């Protein structure tokens, strides 16, 4: 069960944030509206939502997931791999300390984005990407293993972040796309397979009794329903334009 979620309102500068997509510039008003609906969906899932104020200095800071990795007993403040985002951790460190007494840190030369970390029960998978390097991944692995979690490092081939291509629903089931469909590290999990046209839907979030999915991916939605889950669909168009998905917009704990 998740009880608490942290999100951050997009700033006007959001439209000038980092992206590799060619989907165009986000519409700020629409992004705000979509963000509000995201907050409402989380509330419907029964969590308390802490909404942080927007910060013009950090265009990508609405993607709070990248700044921390949270476990029931301790938090790890990440060290985001993009220079323009690294300063986001200063505020998040203060916020996280309101919730956690035990806070650890990923330190340079290690870099790590929370989007590269997927928790499946007591096993954490840590992607090596353009944002997370081997030093950062190893630091997190050591922190987790010292707390008796399992940790596996997964070098990524194509996906931006690990969780861009795989999500955990619970009950040993993952939603997987692209390189994760046949990946040996995930072979023990039952898979809901996402077709190449619906790849964006591989990033979805199970929050208590619901799976929140992006709107417009009918095949994957049906597969998730057929697996027995209730879904909430959200239009994510303005976040997809900046390489962001559903998981990126929150820290859930």
Q: Counting contacts by CB under 6 A, is residue 248 touching ligand CIR? A: yes
Q: How far apart are CA 148 and CA 123, in angstroms?
A: 10
Q: Counting contacts by CB under 6 A, is residue 15 touching ligand CIR? A: no
Q: How far apart are CA 190 and CA 232, in angstroms?
A: 22
Query: Is 123 marked active-site?
Result: no
Query: Which string of b and e fits 124-139 if b means at least 16 CB within 10 Å?
Result: bbbbbbebbbebbbbb
Considering only residues 35, 161, 191, 221, which one is a binding residue for ligand CIR as defined by CB under 6 A?
161
Structure tokens at 138: 């190893």
> Residue 19 or 237: which CB sits closer to ligand CIR?
19
Measured CA distances, 210 to 43, 45, 46, 225 (Å)? 11, 6, 10, 10
* Minimum gap (Å) between residue 240 Cβ and ligand CIR: 10
**What character string, x for contact with ligand CIR (CB under 6 A) and - otherwise, covers 17-56?**
xxx-------------------------------------
Q: Counting contacts by CB under 6 A, is residue 136 touching ligand CIR? A: no
* Count of C-beta atoms within a 10 Å radius of residue 60: 24
Catalytic residue among 35, 45, 161, 204: 161
> Residue 24 or 46: which CB sits closer to ligand CIR?
24
Q: How far apart are CA 147 and CA 70, in angstroms?
A: 13
Region for 24 from its dihedrals, namely left if φ exceeds 0, alpha if ψ lies in -120 to 50, beta otherwise:
left
Query: Is 201 marked active-site?
Result: no
Considering only residues 10, 26, 110, 115, which one is a binding residue for ligand CIR as defined by CB under 6 A?
115
Q: Contacts with ligand CIR in 71-100 (CB under 6 A)?
A: 82, 85
Please identify every residue annotated as catalytic.
Answer: 161, 248
């Amino acid at each position: 069960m998740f009880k608490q979620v942290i999100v951050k309102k997009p700033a006007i500068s959001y439209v000038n944030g980092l992206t590799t997509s060619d989907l165009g510039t986000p519409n700020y008003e629409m992004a705000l509206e979509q963000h509000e609906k995201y907050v409402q969906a989380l509330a419907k899932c029964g969590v308390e939502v802490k909404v942080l104020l927007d910060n013009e200095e950090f265009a990508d800071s609405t993607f709070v997931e990248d700044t921390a990795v949270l476990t029931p007993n301790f938090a790890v403040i990440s060290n985001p791999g993009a220079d323009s985002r690294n300063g986001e951790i200063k505020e998040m460190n203060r916020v996280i300390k309101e919730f956690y007494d035990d806070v650890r840190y990923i330190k340079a030369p290690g870099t790590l984005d929370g989007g590269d970390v997927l928790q499946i029960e007591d096993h954490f998978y840590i992607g090596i990407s353009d944002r997370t390097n081997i030093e950062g991944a190893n630091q997190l692995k050591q922190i987790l293993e010292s707390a008796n979690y399992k940790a596996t490092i997964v070098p990524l081939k194509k996906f931006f972040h690990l969780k861009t291509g795989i999500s955990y629903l619970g009950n040993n089931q993952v939603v997987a796309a692209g390189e994760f469909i046949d990946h040996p590290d995930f072979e023990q999990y039952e898979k809901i397979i996402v077709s190449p046209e619906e790849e964006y839907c591989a990033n979805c979030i199970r929050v208590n009794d619901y799976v929140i999915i992006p709107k417009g991916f009918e095949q994957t939605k049906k597969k998730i329903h057929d697996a027995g889950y209730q879904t909430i669909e959200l239009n994510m168009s303005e976040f997809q334009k900046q390489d962001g998905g559903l998981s990126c917009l929150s820290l859930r704990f």
